[in-house]
Structure 1
Amino acid sequence: MLGSGAGSRAGPPAGSPPAAPATPGPGGAVCATLDRASGRIAPLIAAAGRLSETQARVATNALTFGCFAALEQWYLDGGRRPIADYVEDGMRPLRGIWGPVDPD
């Protein structure tokens, strides 16, 4: 009988999470783009010699995703203040990453 066999049912077994879509939605696409940007920036930061490769990757993720989070907060607040204010405020805890700038 059609459909009575254990392997004939389409889709994941009952109780399983749904299969991931083949193409990411907007949120997934944004995260993937930010991750790629971070991956391109991290080697440049590490090459400066102040951070290890791991530290550079974590720092660039914090910065790229932090900028996006600041933009998201600006949107959630209804754009009451300039975006730059949100970025400045949100990035304040990360300032220690840069350290003092050499005056060369």
Structure 2
Amino acid sequence: MHIIDNGADCESEGFIRFRDPQTSLTGLFNRNGDIVIPAIYSGLTRVHNGLLVALKGATKKRVGIDSLITWVGGEEVLLDTSNNVIIADFEYQPTLNFSLFKKQKNL
């Protein structure tokens, strides 16, 4: 089970994140419990319109006055639910509206 903000993660568009307890890396299950994205990412956002943002290659570090443990560094990428990289070196902005994105083949 993937715990985020002190609670269990919820399904999003038929997908749910999971964390490998041995590596602390995150992957994604589909609604049938099949792994569609292996646990190779430091973090994943929830699925929005078939897309999610992944953090890869980050390291855990204690930061701030409270010494909270967080991921630092690494590369953000935009993925689809088949683990295809849509945009490498993607800079996630919380104000992005993923419902406006449309994935299509290059013409």
TM-score by length of 2: 0.23
Higher strand share: 2
Higher helix share: 1
TM-score by length of 1: 0.23
